[in-house]
Every structure is written in structure tokens, then in C-alpha cells.
Structure 1
Amino acid sequence: MTGSAWHGLAMNLGVTAATVLAVLLVTVAVAPPRGLHRIADVAWGIAFTAVAAVTCLLSAGRGNGTQRLLVTAITAVWGLRLAAHLAWRAHGGAEDPRYEQLLTKASGNRNLYALRTLYPLQAVLIWLVSLPVQAAQYARPPATHVTLLGLSLWAAGVTFEAVGDFQLARFKSDAANHGRILDHGLWAVTRHPNYFGDFLVWWGLYLTACGTWQTAALCLLSPLLMTFLLTRGCGKRRLEAHMAERPGYADYVALVSGFVPLPARQRKVTDADRSTRSSGESRGAEADLGSKRTSTAGSTGHGPVT
């Protein structure tokens, strides 16, 4: 990148910080009055899309035109699909249990607590994670094998996330599945296909910004931070802590990979299983995960149960 491009990127970072703040201010105007802070999840995808669009406008004449449009487009596809899905899922529903748990820490007004903690933190995270979306649009190098690898990871991630969300929504729409675990499709190889999809998306976007070693170094924080959030922060860890005591979920955890898709582990055969099988009262003690169903309580989280 040239000196002019770096100067442009520096200015861009300031403008996009204001853009993220504007999106969150709109969210603050909508969410607390309704008592539904889960609306902040919808704003997450919208804010990334806004950052990409603003950067595309500001980087005109500095970055590679094709790459600018491409990075903006793939960010918008991911962000708007996610926002639409979460808005549809939240429509008419109660507060997300994860936010309920977070707001129990409030010593006074819950909305004021959220305004002091939840929304400022989300703004900072969006701005930091979006670094590749911004830097990639100021880089002039033509597409390389690294860029193509990044696009492939992005495509795989969006597909994985969208298919996982579709399978879960279809499963929940059938009343016969109430209280049962979704253990087929992508949910048979990972307990969190949506989070794993996000993981691929952001490592893919990071690679599109690796045209120079300087931008690669600048943006490395983004996929590392997203990986932490998904696996140790507000994603997988918090959701599974919320669901840990639900009947049957421990069996699902024992059989299915927690993040990276892997073949389901075989369930150990116990003496009780052998006794049940010999009496003809079960479908088989060594049944694979796809044929095993376990009762569990409902969840409004982004997880594999209804």
C-alpha cells in the first residue's frame, strides 16, 4: 500500500468508528424500550455491512476496484443474511437467555446497565473485527492464491452457517420435535455449525486483506478475536453453560464435536443397554447418533434444541 492509501485507511478507521456508533445508537433507541436487548444481535450483521459500504465509498480511487466491490459484497451477503435470520427468529419472542443471564449482574436499572456495558463493548468489537473489511479495500495488489483461498473459506463458512440455521429452523417448526435434540445433518458433526461457519467467514475475510505483510499484520487481531468470541467468549461457551443441565444434552456433548466438524463418536454400550436390547425394548444399544433421540428442555438460544 502507498502512503496515500495508508492515510486514507487511517481516515477510514475514524469514519467507520462513527458509522458503528450510529448503528448502535439506533439499536439503543429501539431495544431498551422494548426490553429486548437481543435486537443487538440483529445490529451486529447490519453494522458490518455498513462498515463495508462506507469503506467502499471512501476507498474509491485508492484501492483495487474489483477487490473493493468484492469485499463489500461478500461482507454484505454474510451480514444481511445473519441479521435477517436473527430478526426472524427474535420476532415475537422473549429475551434471549444469554442476555437475561448477563443482565442479572445489574444492581439497578437493567437498561442503564446494558447501555454502560453491552452496547459500548459491541461497538468496539465490531470495529476491531471489521479491520480486514476495511484494509482489503485500500490494497492494490491483484488477486492472489491467498485471496482465492480466502474467498473459498468465506463461501464454505456462509454455506455452513446458512445450512445449519435452515436445518435448525426446519427442525423447530415441526411440533413433533419439541423437546428433542437435532442430531442429524450438520448438527451430527458439530454442536455449533453456525459458529464454525462464522469462524471460516472471518478467516476468509482476513486472507483477502493479506495483499501485503503490513495489512496482514494489522488485521490479524480480527480473526483471532472472532475465534475467541465464538469458542471462549459469548458464543459456544456461554450457550453450553446455559444448556448444561438440560436432560439429554450431556449425551449429545459426549457424542458430537464441540466446534470443528468431526464424525460422531460412538456411544459406549453399558450393561443397562445390553439388558434393554435383550428385552427388545430399545432400537439397539449401539445405534449411531443419527438414530438416537434424547429428551431435553426448550431453548431460545442459538443451539441445537427446541
Structure 2
Amino acid sequence: MGLAGPVWLLGGVALALQWALWVLAAALRTEKFYDLAGSGTFILLAHLSLRWGNTQHPRQQVQTGLVTIWGLRLGLFLFLRILKEGRDRRFHGVRDHPGTFFVYWTMQGVWVFITLLPTLLLNLEKREKPLGFWDYLGWSTWAVGFIVEAVADQQKWHFRSNPDNAGKFIQSGLWAYSRHPNYLGEIVLWTGLFVSATSVLREWQYISIVSPLLVWYLLNYVSGIPLLEKAAMKRWGKEAAFQAYLQKTPILWPVGFRQ
């Protein structure tokens, strides 16, 4: 259990940072840097754990690099998106209530810590093994997820930036195979980082499988798909084209079955 202390300390750093930023966000009554703060906390904790582990094994450096690449891309993308759109529907009725807003920031800190747990354990582990099958499988899985998420985000960005598509819903590109391909990519890439971490995980550390499970659960049942599906039904639910899209396109996994 020697890693437990540093791991919990990193969790404390995640929460402390979110609470400090909540003070600023509540004072300004804005959510515009919420997602950027979350991505930045991922990067900070990954590099802190690498530094605290004080081993700098190639496996740890690659894993930290992948988290950094993901965090920079998604954080900047979401920040630019909210600057363009002005508001985030998740925070309607929230940003003006500091107590509720505090809960959102606290949950972000918990989400960052749990999602990053396999990487934190990997970076703090002193034991080294030669790179092998599980490393390459995990990193390849991460790459697939990262590409899917990035491509889906760019396709939707370009679609919504075209004035001819005003008031329309996207059903082209990856969005023709899944109604939420960006979320599919997110689930896959965090699954990949857990798989690569299993190269050195042992005993109680396998509890970190909660990382991809949490990502899957949140996107499927809490803050991701349910909110977007409800908004889409409200906006396009009576359109025949949208009903046809619902019938032919799986909600998440593009494997031909309905969820």
C-alpha cells in the first residue's frame, strides 16, 4: 500500500485546484474555463505523479505524454467552442448559485482523479518491466479512441460553422455510424490507458479499472448522452429525417445493434 499516500495526495491536489478555480468562476458567474480547468488538471496530475515517482521509465513517459496530448487537444477545443457559443447548457440555472456550482467543480476534481487513477499508479510504481503486449495494445487502443474523438469533434465543428447547416443536425462522417462518436472515442482511449497500465499494476491497484467504467457510466447515463439526446429530441424530434436517423444509427457503438 506504499503508493496509497501519494495517490491520495494527488487527489487532494485535484480537489484543491478545482475549489480555488470555483471561487473565481463563482465570482465571475462563468463556466467558460470549466472544461479547460479539467483538462489542465489531468495534465498537471499526470506530470506531478511522474515527478513524484522519480523513475521516469519509458512506459511512464509515454503514458504521461498520451494524457498530455489528449488534455491539450480536448481542453483547447472545448474552450474555443464555449468562447464561440457563449454558454454551456449543462450550467443553465447553476452558474448563478454558488453552492450548486461548487458541487459541479468538486465533481470535476473527483472525475479527474478517478479517471486518471491507472496512470497515477503507473507513474508512481518503482517496479519496471520490459515493454510488452499490454503496453502496445493499450497505446494502440488509445490511438484509435483519440483519432475517433478528434475527427468527430472536427467534423461537427465544421458542420456547425457552415451557415447552410443552421438548424440542422449532423449525420455525416463518423456521425453516420454513431450518434455520439466523440463519446465513443473518449471511452475507448481511457480504456486503452487502463490496459497499458496493467503491465505493472498488481493486487489492489486493479481497482483502477473504475477509470474506464466511470467514463462509460457518466457519458451514457449522467452528463453526456442523456442531455444531448433530450435536447435533440426537443429540437428535431418531429422531423421525419431525424426519426430516420435514430432508426438507422446506433446511439454509441457502431456495431449494428440498438441500445
TM-score when normalising by structure 2: 0.89
**Unaligned ranges ≥5, structure 1:** 1-5, 266-306
Deviation track 1:243-300 (CA, whole Å, cap 9, x = no partner) reads 22212344322221101124699xxxxxxxxxxxxxxxxxxxxxxxxxxxxxxxxxxx
Partner residue of 1:237 out of 226, 232, 237: 226
How far has the Cα of 1:195 moved from its partner?
0.5
How far has the Cα of 1:230 moved from its partner?
1.2
Q: State whether residues 52 and 75 of structure 1, in contact with CA within 8 Å, keep that contact through their aligned partners in structure 2.
A: yes
> Residue 180 and residue 80 in structure 1: after superposition, are their counterparts in 2 closer, same or farther (change >3 A)?
same
How far has the Cα of 1:26 moved from its partner?
4.3
Which aligned pairs between 1:1-306 and structure 2 lie closer than 5 A?
Answer: 6-7=1-2, 9-61=3-55, 65-100=57-92, 103=94, 110-115=97-102, 117-137=103-123, 138=125, 139-211=127-199, 212-214=201-203, 217-247=206-236, 248=239, 249-262=242-255
SS of the residue 2:15 aligns to: helix
Q: State whether residues 40 and 71 of structure 2, in contact with CA within 8 Å, keep that contact through their aligned partners in structure 1.
A: yes
SS of the residue 1:180 aligns to: coil
How far has the Cα of 1:38 moved from its partner?
4.9
Aligned length, in residue pairs: 251
Cα distance in 2 for residues equivalent to 1:235 and 1:250: 20
Cα distance in 2 for residues equivalent to 1:244 and 1:23: 37
Cα distance in 1 for residues equivalent to 2:243 and 2:35: 27
SS of the residue 2:65 aligns to: helix
Runs of 4+ residues over 4 Å off in structure 1: none
Higher helix share: 2
Cα distance in 2 for residues equivalent to 1:224 and 1:263: 22
Q: State whether residues 177 and 249 of structure 2, in contact with CA within 8 Å, keep that contact through their aligned partners in structure 1.
A: yes
How far has the Cα of 1:213 moved from its partner?
4.0
Identity fraction in percent: 26
Q: Which has the larger radius of gyration?
A: 1
Q: State whether residues 118 and 208 of structure 2, in contact with CA within 8 Å, keep that contact through their aligned partners in structure 1.
A: yes
How far has the Cα of 1:54 moved from its partner?
0.3
Cα distance in 1 for residues equivalent to 2:257 and 2:209: 32
Judge which range, 247-256 or 125-134, deviates more: 247-256
Judge which range, 118-127 or 16-25, deviates more: 16-25
Cα distance in 1 for residues equivalent to 2:159 and 2:173: 11
> Residue 155 and residue 215 in structure 1: after superposition, are their counterparts in 2 closer, same or farther (change >3 A)?
farther
TM-score when normalising by structure 1: 0.76
How far has the Cα of 1:66 moved from its partner?
0.5
Q: State whether residues 206 and 223 of structure 1, in contact with CA within 8 Å, keep that contact through their aligned partners in structure 2.
A: yes
